[in-house]
Amino acid sequence: MNRIEQPSTEAEGPLAGIRIVEYGVFHAGPGAGAILGDLGADVIKIEEAGGDPERYWTLLGGMDMALPNGESFMFEASNRNKRNISLDITTARGRAILHQMVQRADVFLTNLRPSTKTAMGIDYPTLSRVNPRLIHASVSGYGQQGPMRDIGAFDPLGQARSGMTFVTGNAEPTLMHLAILDQATAITLSHAILTALVMRERRGIGQEVHTSLYGTGLWLLYANLLSVSLLGKDPGVPWERQQNSPLRNSFRCRDGGWLMGVHHPEEKYWGPFCTATGQESLQADPRFTDGRARQRNCPALVAHFDAVFATRDRDAWMETFRRHGLMFSPAQRIDEVLTDPQALANGYVTDFDHPVLGRVRLPGYPVSFSAGRAGTRTKAAAIGEHTIEILAELGYETAEIAALQRAGVAQGPKDDPG
């Protein structure tokens, strides 16, 4: 691992000095690069002249999701914090440039299929010969072994195979939108890369690390799988409010807002809950004296509290529960999250001055560092936006760069005359 001689400062990311070369498409792989870019790594994305197909994924569920520049909002999510070089690595000169980049890199990241990686010469055996200390990180749909090892996949397919589409208890498989498993896989891969970098620091070895949509889905469902394995019981049952204790339930308030409460152990909180809601008399009601009695009479109890919660607005209830030490949270919609004072106070959402879109609000990096800074630093780059800059760093002279552009090996930004 490249050492940083001075301790991190407020303006420096924890991974400053780490270089990542990425050749990937869509989100599960490139999303990991974006996360490591949040942490300060220098991430260089290689794109072919036509670009990552995610740039043009602008139709979702019948909705036009294009940004003013005509590209996909998801491309911004997957490719923030990266420099971009447009390079044809199928040519001899393009491959030579790739190898120069890999020689200087700490990590190579990709999510192409195994057969494609081998055909393009970006598999681990090939690139580890170029740089034996390289961490080669990759994502697949279903894992590196087994009959589906070379079959492509997208987020919904990983959700389907892992069991995620049935955790809501619906009779039909139901997707969780949007790109939930893609993002979880990106997080998993970033975790694996950081672990491999620590191993290299301590043991001096490079290695290949790999995860998949399927494997990440199973990891997310750890408790569900364990329940079925050990007890033979699937916890993915329908969420029916009338069958759940009011201490583990959601309620609609007078202003239409919803609250969710979860309290364990229930006996500890039943009394304070009744007091906070002004329903002390229920504690003496024989139908509700303990957890088993309340479960037997759940429909009546939930209906009673439905009427109680409908008498006050959500914020008023939240203040009451805060004073009584009860664990309730507003059940927020996404637009509410973007202005949530709690999210803003912790930097979980943050403002970013986008050079094209103006001032926008984005998810922040969800971990704080006392000796460093993490988060979005740059917008997703245009195809070839940093081609000239990166080639110059590799030692190419202006005339050589121009020759590479004329030959179609490397391309600069569209407005660059080459």
Where exactly does CATH 3.40.50.10540 map onto the chain?
19-223+349-411
Q: Phi, psi (5° rounding) for residue 139?
A: -125, 140
**Cβ neighbours of residue 234 under 8 Å, at least 6 residues apart?**
224, 227, 228
Q: Which one is the CATH code of 19-223+349-411: 3.40.50.10540, 3.30.450.40, 3.30.420.40, 3.90.1260.10? A: 3.40.50.10540
Q: Is there a cis peptide before residue 178, judged by omega within 30 degrees of 0?
A: yes
* CA–CA separation, 231 and 223 (whole Å): 11
Q: Phi, psi (5° rounding) for residue 248?
A: -140, 75
Where exactly does CATH 3.30.1540.10 map onto the chain?
241-336
* CA–CA separation, 46 and 23 (whole Å): 5
Model's pTM, two decimal places? 0.92
3-state helix, strand, coil in the chain (%, to 5): 40, 15, 45
* CA–CA separation, 317 and 277 (whole Å): 9
* CA–CA separation, 254 and 318 (whole Å): 13
For tokens 């400053």, name the residue.
16
Q: What is the CATH number of domain 241-336?
A: 3.30.1540.10
**What is the chain's pLDDT, residue by residue, as a tens digit (418 residues)?**
333 333 334 468 999 999 999 999 999 999 999 999 999 999 999 999 889 999 999 998 888 989 988 889 999 999 999 999 999 999 999 999 999 999 999 999 999 999 999 999 999 999 999 999 999 999 999 999 999 999 999 999 999 999 999 988 788 999 998 899 999 999 999 999 999 999 999 999 999 999 999 999 999 999 999 999 999 998 876 678 998 999 999 999 999 999 999 999 999 999 999 999 999 999 999 999 999 999 999 999 999 999 999 999 999 999 999 999 999 999 999 999 999 999 999 999 999 999 989 999 999 999 999 999 999 999 999 999 999 999 999 999 999 999 999 999 999 987 554 4
For tokens 């050492």, name the residue.
3
Please name the helix (run of DSSP H) or strand (run of DSSP E) that holds residue 226, with its range, or none.
helix 222-231
* CA–CA separation, 107 and 18 (whole Å): 8
Residue 269, both tokens: 């909180």
